[in-house]
């Protein structure tokens, strides 16, 4: 694998001598900010921006916002300026930020563990209707994102979210982002261990804690106790994965250093077993290692995965134990690897005999009005609990057996399907050009078109084929770990002129087939051709497969 600095390196490679000036690791004494982002974080703790938003910017309007807050510290409060409408992807790389951005914001509501009550969902839906032009996307990190937010409305939105125990704090920025949690935590009949108490403890103790609000870069956490490893643990900075220890019972296997984007790496096991009661302490230890030894010189090397790749798991564990935990961790076994990560779409029995039902919305796109209706339908079926999932799905929990069919019927009317055989289940898309300033191509509407067309042409799918669509070379929609991964870029159209299209990656996967898809050189497809292209690939696979054979890796 080649890094952005031109070095060749392999995931898990051992430490090597670094350049004399260091890479900005605080733990080695390199405290001087080595780039503009680090300087901004040093100038003022980004968490302080909330006070300025409430007392200055919301009162005096968009033009009063300090650019260092607008394009830097606002992210710590879940706010990004959104793309100005009408700017095509060809100009993304050439325009200055102020030319690209609109005077409206995307606001990310963090939903740790994906756990929502109907009351919370209704409040998000109402905020969307009143302040966000009805927009709402369920993301692949269990958040809900709203668009078209005016800075003047942010304090009132926060007040309403606070009232129901929701927040946007550290939803973006170089800090601990939303904590992914198994969407079926505490309810699945086949669960190994319920991570809910640990998710709560990490969120309550450490989110918004200044000791972790200036990390080298974003920091992604995932916890699951479900055997289907339903939180994409392989591609998080830190993951706790449920496992049964032969002597100590159920607990978690500790993984570190996963991540996608331009240098994708799978997380590595540290070989340590962590009991539920120690998860938060160990999380804080690993986060401390990242804060102090993570690389801060180049943004492109600042994710934890680069440190883990350089140190290797043995050295990482040794530093964690000796400098941060001051004790040794218990050795533990690896969890069994699932065939595929679970998305829980369909009808499933809970531990208590009731049912949870998983629904797919088209590429996670819903609306504020729909969220309010979902809350009403859920309550009308005797439940007050829902979960978002890392696959852009929505689960309704605690449904009595005789209410399941009625629930499915009413949700179908709202555009959410519980049928696990639909193409809609398999297609995932990032925000794309509609709102994202980095985007080159449109994604959400295209994802819906692809799913609808394939549904018509090929009908029900007995084995899911995942199609993940990104609007740019980043990997918000995890293209490297999809059966068919599509990286947005401009490609030559029929007359040679550049049009919206994709670089194709084939055969990525998680679970048993964890690995990154092959980038097919010169293999590019235009957005207009995409339904035909996916249909061809799917037909080849479906016609040629032998019993139980997966999409080719
Ligand atoms: Fe934006 Fe690119 Fe992420 Fe899509 S993948 S949301 S276009 S940064």
User: Could you report the per-residue pLDDT of 493-522, keeping only the tens digit for each?
Assistant: 999 999 999 999 998 888 877 788 888 777
Q: Work out which ligand 1 atom sits closest to the CA atom of 488.
A: 7
Q: What is the pLDDT of residues 274-294, one digit of tens each?
A: 999 999 999 999 999 999 999
Closest residue by CA, ligand 1 atom 3: 476
Report strand pairing: 144-149 vs 176-181.
unpaired
CA dihedral (248, 251, 255, 256) in degrees, to 10, reads -110
Residue 540 has pLDDT above 70, yes or no: yes
Q: Is 471 in the pocket of ligand 1 (CB under 6 A)?
A: yes
Q: Six-digit token pair at 315?
A: 């050295």
Q: Which residue has the tokens 């974003």?
A: 218
Task: Give residue 6's pLDDT.
Answer: 32
**Predicted confidence (pLDDT) at residue 14 exceeds the cutoff of 70:** no
Using an 8 Å Cβ cutoff, are 167 and 134 in contact? no
Ligand 1 atom closest to Cα of 477?
5
For tokens 């990032």, the residue is: 430
Residue pair 146/106 in contact by the 8 Å Cβ criterion: yes
Is 82's C-beta closer than 6 angstroms to any atom of ligand 1? Answer: no
pLDDT value, residue 17: 53
CB 341, CB 510: distance < 8 Å: yes
Check whether 467 has a pLDDT greater than 50. yes
b/e per residue 269-288 (b: at least 16 CB within 10 A) = bbbbbbbbebbbbbbbbbbb
89 lines ligand 1 (CB under 6 A): no
Mean pLDDT of all residues in the chain? 92
474 lines ligand 1 (CB under 6 A): yes
Find the range with the poorest average confidence among 15-24, 385-394, 473-482. Answer: 15-24
Mean pLDDT calculated for residue range 26-35: 92
Which residue in 531, 336, 348 sits closest to 449, CA to CA?
531
pLDDT at residue 50 in the model: 98
Q: What is the mean pLDDT of residues 99-113?
A: 96
- Per-residue pLDDT, 362: 86
Q: Give Cβ neighbours of residue 451 (< 8 Å, ≥ 6 apart).
A: 362, 363, 422, 423, 424, 426, 427
Residue 433 CA, ligand 1 centroid: distance in Å: 8
What order of strands is seen across the sheet that includes strand 385-388? 115-117, 385-388, 393-399, 355-360, 346-349
pLDDT at 229 over 80: yes
If DSSP states are collapsed to H, E and C, what string results for 153-191? HHHHHHHHHHHCCCECCCCCCCCEEEEEECCCCCCECCC
Q: Ligand 1: which atom is nearest the Cα of residue 437? A: 1
pLDDT band of residue 20 (cuts 50, 70, 90) is: low
The model's pLDDT over 234-245, given as tens digits with 9 standing for 90+, comes to: 999 999 999 999
Task: Check residue 16 and give its pLDDT.
Answer: 55
Helix or strand (DSSP H, E) at 385: strand 385-388
Q: Which of 141, 442, 476 to mutate to test the pocket of ligand 1 (most atoms within 8 A of CB)?
A: 476
Higher pLDDT, 370 or 517: 370
Residue to mutate, 106, 472, 479, ligand 1, most ligand atoms under 8 Å from C-beta: 472
- Name the residue among 502, 496, 497, 495 with its Cα closest to residue 526: 502
Q: Quick count: other Cβ atoms within 10 Å of Cβ 247?
A: 7
**DSSP characters over 178-226:** EEEE-TTTTTBTT-S---HHHHHHHHHHHTT-GGGSS-SS-EEEEEE-S
Q: What is the pTM of this model?
A: 0.93
Question: Do residues 300 and 289 make contact, with C-beta atoms less than 8 angstroms apart?
Answer: no
* CB-ligand 1 contact for 439 (6 Å cutoff): yes
pLDDT tens string 135-177: 999 999 999 999 999 999 999 999 999 999 999 999 999 999 9
Cα separations (Å) of 261 from 258, 333, 504, 537? 11, 29, 15, 25
pLDDT of residue 5: 33
Atom of ligand 1 nearest to the CA of 471: 7
Does residue 272 sit in helix, strand or coil? strand
* Ligand 1: centre distance to CA 521 (Å): 22
Q: Would the pLDDT of 422 be above 50?
A: yes
Give pLDDT tens digits for 283-335.
999 999 999 999 999 999 999 999 999 999 999 999 999 999 999 999 999 99
Contacts of 491 (CB under 8 A, 6+ apart): 498, 499, 500, 501, 502, 503, 524, 525, 526
What is the percent of the chain with per-residue pLDDT over 90, rounded to a whole number? 82
Nearest by Cα to 440 from 100, 3, 80: 100
436 lines ligand 1 (CB under 6 A): yes
Residue pair 478/235 in contact (Cβ under 8 Å)? The answer is yes
Task: Give me the pLDDT at residue 475, please.
Answer: 87
Q: What confidence tier does 266 reach under pLDDT thresholds 50, 70, 90?
A: very high
Tell me how far apart the alpha carbons of residues 221 and 237 are, in angstroms, rounded to a whole number.
6
Kindly tell me if the per-residue pLDDT of 455 is higher than 60.
Answer: yes
Query: Ligand 1 centroid vs 442 CA: distance in angstroms?
Result: 10
């Amino acid at each position: 694998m080649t890094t952005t600095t031109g070095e060749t390196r392999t995931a898990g490679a051992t430490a090597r001598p670094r350049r004399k000036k260091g890479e900005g690791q605080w733990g080695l004494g390199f405290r001087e900010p080595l780039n503009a982002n680090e300087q901004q974080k040093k100038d003022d703790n980004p968490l302080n921006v909330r006070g300025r938003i409430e007392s200055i910017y919301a009162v005096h309007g968009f033009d009063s916002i300090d650019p260092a807050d607008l394009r830097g510290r606002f992210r710590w409060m879940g706010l990004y300026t959104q793309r100005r409408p009408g700017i095509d992807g060809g100009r993304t790389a050439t325009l200055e930020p102020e030319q690209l951005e609109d005077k409206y914001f995307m606001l990310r509501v963090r939903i740790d563990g994906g756990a929502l009550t109907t009351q919370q969902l209704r409040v998000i839906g109402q905020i969307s209707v009143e302040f966000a032009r009805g927009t709402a996307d369920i993301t692949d990190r269990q958040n809900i994102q709203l668009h078209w937010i005016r800075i003047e409305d942010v304090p009132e939105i926060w007040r309403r979210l606070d009232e129901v125990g929701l927040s946007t704090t550290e939803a973006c920025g170089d800090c601990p982002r939303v904590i992914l949690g198994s969407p079926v935590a505490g309810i699945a009949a086949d669960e190994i261990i319920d991570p809910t108490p640990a998710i709560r403890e990490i969120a309550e103790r450490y989110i918004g804690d200044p000791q972790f609000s200036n990390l080298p870069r974003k920091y992604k956490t995932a916890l699951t106790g479900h055997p289907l490893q339903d939180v994409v643990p392989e591609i998080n900075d830190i993951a706790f994965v449920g496992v049964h220890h032969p002597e100590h019972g159920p607990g978690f296997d500790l993984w570190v250093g996963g991540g996608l984007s331009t240098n994708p790496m799978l997380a590595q096991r540290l070989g340590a077993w962590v009991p539920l009661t120690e998860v938060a302490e160990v999380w804080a230890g690993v986060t401390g290692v990242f804060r102090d030894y993570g690389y801060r010189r180049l943004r492109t090397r600042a994710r934890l995965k680069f440190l883990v790749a350089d140190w290797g798991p043995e050295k990482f564990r040794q530093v964690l134990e000796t400098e941060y935990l001051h004790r040794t961790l218990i050795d533990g076994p690896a969890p069994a690897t699932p065939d595929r990560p679970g998305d829980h779409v369909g009808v499933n029995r809970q531990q208590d005999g009731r049912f949870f039902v998983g629904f797919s919305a088209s590429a996670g796109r819903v609306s504020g009005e729909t969220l309010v209706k979902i809350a009403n339908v859920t309550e009308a079926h005797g439940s007050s609990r829902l979960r978002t999932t890392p696959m852009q799905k929505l689960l309704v929990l605690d449904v009595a057996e005789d209410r399941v069919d009625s629930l499915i019927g009413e949700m179908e009317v709202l555009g959410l399907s519980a049928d696990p055989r639909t193409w809609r289940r398999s297609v995932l898309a990032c925000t794309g050009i509609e709102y994202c300033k980095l985007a080159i191509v449109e994604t959400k509407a295209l994802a819906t078109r692809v799913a609808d067309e394939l549904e018509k042409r090929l009908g029900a799918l007995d084995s899911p084929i995942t199609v993940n669509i990104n609007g740019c070379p980043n990997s918000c929609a995890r293209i490297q770990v999809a059966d068919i991964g599509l990286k947005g870029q401009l490609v030559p159209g029929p007359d040679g002129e550049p049009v919206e299209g994709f670089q194709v990656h084939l055969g990525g996967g998680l679970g048993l087939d964890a690995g990154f898809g092959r980038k097919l050189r010169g293999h590019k497809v235009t957005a207009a051709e995409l339904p035909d292209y996916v249909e061809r690939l799917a037909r080849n696979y479906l016609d040629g497969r032998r019993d139980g054979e997966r999409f080719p890796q």
